[in-house]
């Protein structure tokens, strides 16, 4: 399906992902972690479909388990000792819980990044940073233009080399690596020589004049405004919770977090709401569309 | 009103005694469409680059250039950037950013326009050039023609009053090229933009131009209305006359008149008038194909090919044979599978059905070394992809590095190739500093060092002017006489008609028809040479310029 | 000498900026981390510091209003590095990125070296996927390019094969491997301890080794021709070192 959240202004996308990623890296409170992980998995499946399911089950689940097991082996803090290893080091409940929590966080961040990669395409990023870093963002744009071109040229060169009897796919590993480097070297000459004309074309179109602006197709409309306000409100609530200590958990020497109160429940809901913003948008738009369709 | 006034312009590159431009005087009126032509290296590109200071190369310069009555050095860069648009040769190199919309806006961003203005201008340009359908695409997805159109549009977005184009269509196929020129014409006609353009493809461009300027060795040798300049070049038997449109060449050699026909239509009218009181000479008998019984060197039997398992078939049920010593041309549109066929012959690709035999063997089964030494030689479309070293000489030596020859034998071999390809004065140069035609000769020399018996050529005339084309033809004919079989894929109908022995028409993944060149073009009514289109109502088999001239002269 | 004076200005501005960052902002971040973030302090602080080190480069570069040709050179080299990373995809860790970054640093100076490295690290992840590793990779590639430029200017790094290969191997193994492993430990276990770091170094040893060998091999074969090509471009098109291009 087509993601509705991606159609919002890049700033909305970026604020959402930046806050979610930072929060997911910082808050280890189990309720918040669970909220973030669940939202990340749901959204990634919405974005990437079957591929995401496979990715989550095949790579993320084992990773989570391994990380959860590894931590207690190295970390022996904590007061609840479960048993001793052969070398005499204790395995504690706290370190196991901590390991699970840390692993869970890692996996959450990775899954969020898989969503980020699908939504924050390069042109959005370049747009956002074009305002504050015009030269660098132009470099990014140029690199993104050159790379596919260079890869195509590598193919052309390796075919041409093959046709004068230099076959990259034949010979042992060393010979192949050497041939590969020759091709890279030929490609470099080609790239540098041709780039001069690109520089001419930039200059010819006035690059380097003072007062360069940065154009984009994106418009910050009413829809973006309302979602942005919701995001900011939720972020403020979560930060308020963080200030009150609602979002933190202490593992060592013993596991401890604040007692659950109405205030903490409000923070949990706000956080879960924040994480689910794109999913909610997708579901609501989907329902709207179905209703429109049923009337036709 | 005048756009440019050039007074006694002299220019030479640093460290060179020779003047690249010598005493140029030229006035260009606003709204004029000017075509500039001349042999490669005659200084036309250098002249164009003088017309926009930021692109002017370093060197000694004297004389004056005025843009709208103002010395060009006094113009600020901002005005120059927006007023003077410049389109370069290579469509790919000019594109800076990764998205079509961003590329369109690039110049306007530099000029510092706000978002709303850019939005409007970009929208206008996209609609004018018909870009709106691929407006959101990545530039990598575009065809060569689309890329060049994008370059043109992104310059037109800045609303220049003059548009300078330096061989803009040399890297495009004929269809894309004439589309591009049509757009340039539209800009000139509908917006009144002054056009100054260099071009090899004069057949398409001369009917559009108001004035033709011919350059030689840095000086202007003729200027005026295209048909008058053409006629006067014809009178002088100037070598540049070979680049002129076919009707003009035919008329000039048959009857000297001050006004020459430019288009096929005018050519036909002239020919009808010329033959009105004469009887058309009969067509001479064509030579019998003597090589039909020679052994086949390339055989395709019911070959099918596709790139992906679920992809569409690129080559469909293709069968043909090339016999030893033939000069075989394959013509046809873009994306019909011509280049793929060459890749199949050279074993780069493999068919999923059918058989390919090269000298009786399957090319995919033999090693690259065996296939490409004393067997098949392949000159790729882009000769730059063959160069490895920093001078031409080292590059030639590199080819023999892995052969067991002695040092003297190698040097001897290289010496003879250098002589053959006329590279003597280029040996110490960097391959990338050579002109297009010279690069191609150097690449050809590299391939010839492997002593191929079959030479495959992919679009060898792309970007070459008529002088280099003639030269290439001489080399190819020499090789062919020496027993080398030549298979050439080309868009260049005129070249195939003049030098090919057999021609095949490729369409939709297969060969539709194959025939001896003259019969082949006589059988087509659209996909044929300009000379044939002009004379086919009288001589169906009059295919080449020379052929038609001879027939005209024999008509009494 | 005169070249040094010309290049002195932007370098010193960058140094000044770096000084502010190092003396004020970084300690503030650490304090903030220690008091506010508690358990997550290590990863977060380290990530912020990595960002900070890159900011002065970006600021100075933007401030300087670089010319079209400078942008092109940086973009082309970064794109070659990224394309190289993709072209050698079949061999894990056998990547030319570090080698190309070092060549860029030697040929065009420390700033260009840093920018080529950081850009290559960043943009390649548009193709391979962004992740928490992106800032670390940018930082490591950039740092190696920067070091190559500085050492070359100081005369400690020569344009000889031996010198370049030695620097390439060592910097890949110790600078890149060393820092990337810290990054992954911080990210993965979210709790810093020397044992975990050591374990990470041990488990990553072969990866880093292959990477270092690859860099040495690439430099051994590519360094000389690549430097020659860059020199040719510099002279043919009047490209001077980007840092000294400013009047």
The pLDDT of residue C242: 42
Distance from CA of C132 to the nearest CA of B (A): 25
Q: Do B101 and A204 touch (CB under 8 A)?
A: no
CB pairs under 8 A between A and B: 165
Asked whether residue B258 carries a pLDDT value surpassing 90, the answer given is: no
Cα–Cα distance for residue pair A38/B514, rounded to 1 Å: 66
Asked whether residue B522 carries a pLDDT value surpassing 80, the answer given is: yes
Q: Strands A81-84 and A90-92: what pairing?
A: antiparallel
Maximum mean pLDDT: which of A81-85, B1-5, B358-362, C99-103: C99-103
The pLDDT of residue C7: 41
Q: CATH code for C13-238?
A: 1.10.1760.20
Confidence of residue C241 (pLDDT cuts 50, 70, 90): very low
Q: Do B390 and C238 touch (CB under 8 A)?
A: no
> What is this model's ipTM?
0.85
Q: What mean pLDDT do residues B391-395 have?
A: 90
Which of C244 and B497 is assigned the larger pLDDT? B497
Least confident span in B5-9, B28-32, B216-220, B293-297: B293-297
Q: What mean pLDDT do residues B127-145 have?
A: 91
User: What φ, ψ does residue A62 adopt, rounded to 5°?
Assistant: -60, -40
Asked whether residue B461 carries a pLDDT value surpassing 70, the answer given is: yes
Distance from CA of C14 to the nearest CA of B (A): 27
Q: Do C71 and A142 touch (CB under 8 A)?
A: yes
Confidence of residue B175 (pLDDT cuts 50, 70, 90): confident
Distance from CA of C71 to the nearest CA of A (A): 6
Q: Do A141 and B96 touch (CB under 8 A)?
A: yes
Q: What mean pLDDT do residues B317-340 have?
A: 89
Of C83, C221, C225, the CB nearest to A151: C83
Q: What mean pLDDT do residues B488-492 have?
A: 91
Q: What mean pLDDT do residues B443-467 have?
A: 89
A294 inside 8 A of chain B by CB: no
Least confident span in B433-442, C15-24, C110-119: C15-24
Please report where in the chains the tokens 């040996």 appear, as a residue. B427
C90 inside 8 A of chain A by CB: no
B78 inside 8 A of chain C by CB: no
Please report where in the chains the tokens 């890749």 appear, as a residue. B343
Q: Which residue of A has its CA nearest to C99?
A: A181
Which distant-in-sequence residues (6+ apart) come within 8 Å of B546 by Cβ? B498
C238 inside 8 A of chain B by CB: yes
Q: Do C87 and A140 touch (CB under 8 A)?
A: no
A121 inside 8 A of chain B by CB: no
The pLDDT of residue C14: 62
Token pair belonging to A131: 């305002």
Token pair belonging to C212: 């270092």
What rounded mean pLDDT belongs to chain B? 89
Residues on chain A touching B450 (C-beta within 8 angstroms): 164-165
Asked whether residue C188 carries a pLDDT value surpassing 70, the answer given is: no
The pLDDT of residue A287: 92
Distance from CA of B175 to the nearest CA of A (A): 24
Least confident span in A74-88, B9-23, B217-231, C197-211: A74-88
User: Nearest to residue C78, comparing CAs of C56, C97, C54?
Assistant: C97
| Orientation angle between helical segments B264-275 and B545-554, nearest 10 degrees | 20
Distance from CA of B263 to the nearest CA of A (A): 34
Q: To which H or E segment does residue B183 belong?
A: helix B174-191
Q: What mean pLDDT do residues C39-58 have?
A: 76
pLDDT in tens, B221-254: 999 999 888 888 888 888 888 888 999 989 888 8
SS3 content of chain B, % helix, strand, coil (to 5): 45, 20, 35
Cα–Cα distance for residue pair B554/A278, rounded to 1 Å: 82
Q: What mean pLDDT do residues B14-28 have?
A: 87
Confidence of residue C22 (pLDDT cuts 50, 70, 90): low
Confidence of residue B399 (pLDDT cuts 50, 70, 90): confident
Confidence of residue B287 (pLDDT cuts 50, 70, 90): low
Cα–Cα distance for residue pair B182/C125, rounded to 1 Å: 42
The answer to whether B548 touches B542, Cβ cutoff 8 Å, is yes
Cα–Cα distance for residue pair C59/A132, rounded to 1 Å: 9
The pLDDT of residue C31: 67
Residues on chain C touching A180 (C-beta within 8 angstroms): 87-88
Q: Which residue of B has its CA nearest to A171?
A: B367
C37 inside 8 A of chain A by CB: yes
Residues on chain B touching C232 (C-beta within 8 angstroms): 390, 430
The tens place of each residue's pLDDT in chain A, 296 residues long, gives: 578 899 999 999 999 999 999 888 888 888 999 999 999 999 999 998 888 888 878 887 887 787 777 777 777 777 777 778 777 778 888 888 888 888 888 889 889 999 998 898 888 888 888 878 888 989 999 999 999 999 999 999 988 888 877 766 666 777 777 788 888 888 999 999 889 889 999 999 999 888 888 888 888 999 999 999 999 999 999 999 888 877 777 777 777 777 788 888 999 999 999 999 999 999 999 999 999 988 87
Q: Do A146 and C94 touch (CB under 8 A)?
A: no
pLDDT in tens, C140-168: 999 999 999 999 998 888 888 899 999 99
Residues on chain C touching A28 (C-beta within 8 angstroms): 39-40, 190
Cα–Cα distance for residue pair A169/A7, rounded to 1 Å: 44
Q: Do B158 and A206 touch (CB under 8 A)?
A: yes
Q: Do A135 and C66 touch (CB under 8 A)?
A: yes
Every domain of chain C and the residues it spans: 13-238
Q: Do A192 and C230 touch (CB under 8 A)?
A: yes
Every domain of chain A and the residues it spans: 5-127+219-295, 132-204
Residues on chain A touching B400 (C-beta within 8 angstroms): none
Asked whether residue C39 carries a pLDDT value surpassing 60, the answer given is: no
Between CA C197 and CA C203, with CA C201 as vertex, the angle to 5 degrees is 115
C247 inside 8 A of chain A by CB: no
Asked whether residue C8 carries a pLDDT value surpassing 50, the answer given is: no
Q: Which residue of C has its CA nearest to B54?
A: C68
Distance between alpha carbon B229 and the CA centroid of its chain, in Å?
23
Q: What mean pLDDT do residues C170-190 have?
A: 82
Confidence of residue C4 (pLDDT cuts 50, 70, 90): very low
> Which subunits sit against B, judged by 3+ Cβ pairs under 8 A?
A, C
Residues on chain C touching A185 (C-beta within 8 angstroms): 221-222, 225-226, 229
Q: What mean pLDDT do residues B46-61 have?
A: 90
Which distant-in-sequence residues (6+ apart) come within 8 Å of A103 by Cβ? A63, A64, A65, A66, A67, A68, A71
Asked whether residue C246 carries a pLDDT value surpassing 90, the answer given is: no
Full DSSP string of chain A: ---SGGGS-HHHHHHHHHHHHHHHHH---HHHHHHHHHHHHHHHHHHHTHHHHHHIIIIIHHHHHHHHHHHHHH----S-EEEE-TTS-EEEHHHHHHHHHHHHHHHHHHHHHHHHHHHS-HHHHHHHHHHH-HHHHHHHHHHHHHHHHHHHHHHHHHHHHHTTT--TTSS-HHHHHHHHHHHHHHHHHHHHHHHHHHHHHHHHTTTT-SS-----S----HHHHHHHHHHHHHHHHHHHHHHTTTT--B-SSS-B-PPP-HHHHHHHHHHHHHHHHHHHHHHHHHHHHHHHHHH-
The pLDDT of residue A27: 84
pLDDT in tens, A84-126: 877 777 888 888 888 888 888 888 988 999 999 889 888 888 8
Of C68, C83, C91, the CB nearest to A147: C83
Least confident span in B256-260, C16-20, C231-235: C16-20
The pLDDT of residue A221: 92
């Amino acid at each position: 399906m087509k993601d509705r959240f991606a159609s919002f202004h890049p700033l909305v996308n970026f604020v959402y992902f930046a806050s979610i990623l930072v929060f997911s890296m910082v808050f280890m409170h189990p309720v918040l972690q669970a909220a973030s992980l669940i939202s990340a998995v749901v959204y990634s499946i919405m974005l990437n479909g079957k591929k995401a399911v496979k990715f989550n089950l095949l790579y993320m689940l084992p990773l989570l388990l391994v990380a959860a097991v590894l931590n207690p082996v190295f970390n022996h803090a904590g007061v609840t000792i479960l048993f001793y290893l052969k070398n005499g080091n204790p395995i504690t409940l706290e370190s196991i819980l901590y390991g699970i929590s840390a692993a869970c966080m890692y996996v959450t961040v990775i899954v969020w990044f898989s969503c980020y990669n699908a939504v924050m395409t390069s042109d959005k990023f370049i747009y956002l940073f074009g305002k504050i870093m015009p030269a660098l963002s132009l470099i990014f744009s140029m690199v993104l233009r050159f790379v596919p071109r260079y890869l195509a040229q590598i193919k052309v060169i390796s075919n041409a080399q093959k046709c004068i009897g230099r076959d990259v796919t034949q010979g042992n590993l060393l010979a192949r690596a050497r041939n590969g480097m020759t091709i890279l070297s030929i490609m470099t000459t080609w790239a540098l020589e041709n780039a001069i004309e690109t520089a001419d074309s930039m200059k010819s179109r006035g690059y380097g004049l003072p007062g360069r602006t940065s154009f984009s197709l994106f418009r910050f409309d009413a829809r973006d405004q309302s979602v942005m306000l919701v995001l900011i409100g939720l972020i403020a609530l979560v930060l308020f919770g963080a200030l009150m200590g609602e979002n933190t958990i202490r593992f060592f020497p013993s596991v401890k977090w604040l007692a659950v109160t109405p205030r903490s429940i409000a923070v949990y809901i706000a956080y879960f709401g924040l994480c689910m913003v794109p999913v909610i948008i997708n579901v609501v738009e989907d329902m709207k569309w179905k209703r429109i369709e049923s009337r036709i | 009103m005048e756009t440019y006034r050039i007074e006694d312009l002299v220019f030479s590159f640093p460290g060179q005694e020779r003047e690249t431009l010598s005493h140029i005087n030229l006035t260009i009126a606003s709204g004029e469409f000017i075509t500039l032509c001349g042999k490669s290296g005659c200084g036309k590109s250098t002249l164009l680059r003088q017309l926009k200071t930021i692109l002017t190369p370093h060197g000694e310069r004297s004389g004056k250039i005025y843009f709208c009555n103002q010395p060009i050095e006094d113009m600020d860069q901002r005005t120059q950037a927006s007023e003077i648009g410049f389109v370069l040769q290579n469509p790919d190199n000019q594109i800076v950013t990764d998205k079509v919309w961003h590329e369109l806006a690039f110049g306007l961003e530099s000029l510092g326009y706000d978002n709303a203005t850019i939005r409007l201008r970009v929208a206008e340009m996209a609609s004018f050039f018909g870009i709106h359908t691929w407006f959101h695409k990545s530039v990598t997805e575009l065809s060569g023609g689309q890329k060049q159109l994008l370059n043109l549009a992104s310059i037109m977005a800045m609303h220049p009053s003059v548009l300078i184009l330096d061989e803009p269509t040399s890297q495009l196929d004929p269809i894309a090229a004439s589309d591009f020129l049509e757009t340039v014409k539209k800009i000139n006609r509908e917006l009144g933009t002054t056009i100054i353009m260099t071009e090899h493809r004069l057949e398409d461009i001369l009917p559009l131009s108001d004035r033709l300027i011919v350059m030689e060795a840095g000086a202007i040798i003729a200027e005026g209305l295209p048909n008058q300049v053409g006629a006067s070049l014809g009178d002088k038997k100037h070598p540049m006359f070979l680049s002129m449109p076919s009707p003009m060449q035919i008329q000039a050699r048959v009857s000297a008149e001050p006004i020459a026909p430019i288009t096929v239509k005018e050519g036909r009218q002239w020919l009808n008038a010329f033959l009105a009181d004469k009887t058309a000479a009969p067509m001479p008998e064509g030579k019998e194909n003597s090589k039909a019984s020679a052994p086949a060197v390339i055989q395709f039997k019911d070959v099918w090919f596709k790139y992906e398992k679920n992809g569409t078939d690129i080559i469909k049920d293709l069968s043909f044979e090339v016999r030893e010593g033939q000069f075989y041309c394959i013509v046809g549109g873009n994306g019909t599978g011509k280049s793929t066929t060459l890749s199949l012959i050279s074993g780069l690709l493999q068919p999923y059905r059918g058989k390919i035999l090269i000298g009786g063997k399957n090319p995919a089964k033999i090693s690259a070394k065996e296939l490409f030494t004393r067997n098949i030689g392949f000159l790729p479309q882009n000769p730059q992809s063959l160069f490895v070293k920093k001078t031409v000489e080292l590059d030639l030596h590199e080819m023999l590095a892995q052969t067991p020859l002695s040092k003297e034998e190698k040097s001897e071999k290289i010496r003879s190739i250098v002589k053959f390809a006329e590279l003597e004065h280029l040996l110490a140069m960097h391959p990338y500093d050579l002109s297009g035609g010279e690069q191609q000769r150097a690449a050809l020399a590299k391939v010839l060092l492997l002593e191929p018996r079959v030479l495959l050529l992919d679009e060898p005339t792309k970007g070459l002017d008529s002088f280099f084309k003639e030269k290439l033809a001489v080399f190819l004919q020499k090789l062919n006489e020496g027993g080398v079989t030549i298979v050439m894929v080309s868009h260049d109908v005129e070249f195939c008609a003049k030098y090919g022995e057999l021609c095949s028409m490729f369409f939709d993944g297969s060969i539709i028809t194959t025939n001896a060149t003259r019969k082949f073009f006589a059988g087509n009514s659209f996909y044929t040479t300009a000379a044939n289109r002009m004379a086919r109502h009288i001589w169906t088999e009059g295919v080449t310029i020379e052929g038609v001239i001879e027939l005209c002269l024999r008509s009494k | 000498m005169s070249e040094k004076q010309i290049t002195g200005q932007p370098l010193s501005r960058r140094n000044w900026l770096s000084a502010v960052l190092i003396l004020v902002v970084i300690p503030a971040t650490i304090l903030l981390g220690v008091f506010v973030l508690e358990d997550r302090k290590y990863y977060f602080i380290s990530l912020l510091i990595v960002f900070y080190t890159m900011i002065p480069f970006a600021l100075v570069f933007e401030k300087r209003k670089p010319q079209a040709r400078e942008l092109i050179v940086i973009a082309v080299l970064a794109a070659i590095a990224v394309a190289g990373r993709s072209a050698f995809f079949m061999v894990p860790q056998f990547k030319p990125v570090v080698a190309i970054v070092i060549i860029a640093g030697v040929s065009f100076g420390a700033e260009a070296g840093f920018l080529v490295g950081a850009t290559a690290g960043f943009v390649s992840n548009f193709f391979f996927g962004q992740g928490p590793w992106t800032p670390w990779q940018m930082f490591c590639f950039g740092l190696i390019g920067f070091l190559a430029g500085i050492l070359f200017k100081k005369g400690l790094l020569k344009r000889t094969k031996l010198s370049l290969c030695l620097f390439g191997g060592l910097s890949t193994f110790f600078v890149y491997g060393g820092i990337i492993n810290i990054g992954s430990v911080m990210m993965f276990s979210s709790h810093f301890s020397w044992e975990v770091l050591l374990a990470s170094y041990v488990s990553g040893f072969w990866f880093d080794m292959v990477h270092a060998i690859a860099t040495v091999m690439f430099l051994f074969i590519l360094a000389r021709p690549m430097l020659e090509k860059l020199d040719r471009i510099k002279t043919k098109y009047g490209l001077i070192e980007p840092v000294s291009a400013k009047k």
